[in-house]
Amino acid sequence: MNIEQFLEYCNKKPFVTEEFPFGPDNLVLKVKGKIFAITDLNETPLKVNLKCDPEQAEILRDKYEQVKPGYHMNKKHWNTVEFDAKLSLKLLKEWIDHSYLSVVETLSKSLKQEVEQELLRNNSSK
């Protein structure tokens, strides 16, 4: 998955915004104002910080050499994933989805409901 594919996939999700709060090279993707992914636009291969359940984060780090503790992030809750050809597109999408949904879970009840309703609408229209 390259940067274009990554952004296309993420931006299809409801209420995703792109921001550059850490400078022009560091793209931050948020859902309803909360970060679910960060990447350096100049880094090759593409590396993305993704939120992850702490137990799952440890399992992924042990299983995949491309998964490391989150760079400049809370290492308990974030992984840095190198998006190389050894990882399947399906797996990368699952990890992006997990990060997005993990953040949605932390939103206020009303914001969470709004996102969940839009996700349901999107799924039913497929």
Domains defined along the chain, listed by start: 3-118 (3.90.1150.30)
Crossing angle (nearest 10°) for helices 89-106 and 109-124? 140
Per-residue pLDDT of the chain in tens (126 residues, 90 and over written 9)? 899 999 999 999 999 999 999 999 999 999 999 999 999 998 888 999 999 999 999 999 999 999 999 877 777 889 999 998 789 999 999 999 999 999 999 999 999 999 999 999 887 766
Note the pLDDT of residue 39: 95
pLDDT at 71: 78
Q: What is the pLDDT of residue 126?
A: 60
Please say whether the dihedral angle defined by the alpha carbons of residues 35, 31, 85 and 2, taken in this order, is positive or negative. Answer: negative
How many Å apart are CA 107 and CA 115, to the nearest integer?
Answer: 9
Phi first, then psi: give them for residue 119, nearest 5 degrees. -60, -45
Task: Find out whether 54 and 36 touch, Cβ atoms under 8 Å.
Answer: no
Q: Cα angle vertex 50, ends 5, 66, to 5°?
A: 80
Is residue 126 within 8 Å of 76, Cβ to Cβ? no
Angstrom distance (rounded) from CA 78 to CA 53: 8
Instruction: State pTM to two decimals.
Output: 0.92
Q: What confidence score (pLDDT) does residue 47 get?
A: 94
| Residue 116 near residue 105 (C-beta atoms within 8 A) | no
What is the C-alpha to C-alpha distance for residues 66 and 102, in angstroms, rounded to an integer? 21
